[in-house]
Amino acid sequence: MANGILAAILSFFIPGLGQAYAGDIKKGIIFFIVLIVLILIGTMIFRSWVISLINILFSLYAAYDAYQMTQ
């Protein structure tokens, strides 16, 4: 069984990694793709603090989701 705290930490720093660690590779790939899209949008279009805030919120959600998957 996967450790919830470790899954949350992994997913906070690299969204999708915690989901993959918890056993759902497909969900992990989807989360990682969303992260890449957010980064691309942030660097190419907006370049503002709004995208940074969205990235942080997404990382927090990914960490929460990874933790819940292990419970």
Segment among 2-6, 8-12, 25-29 with least mean pLDDT: 2-6
Q: How many domains does the chain have?
A: 1
Q: How many angstroms separate the first and last alpha carbons of the chain?
A: 9
What are the tokens at 19?
């989901």
Q: What is the mean pLDDT of residues 36-49?
A: 78
pTM for the model: 0.85
Which range of residues forms the domain containing residue 40?
A: 4-70
pLDDT tens for residues 17-42?
999 999 889 999 999 999 998 888 87
What are the tokens at 26?
């497909």
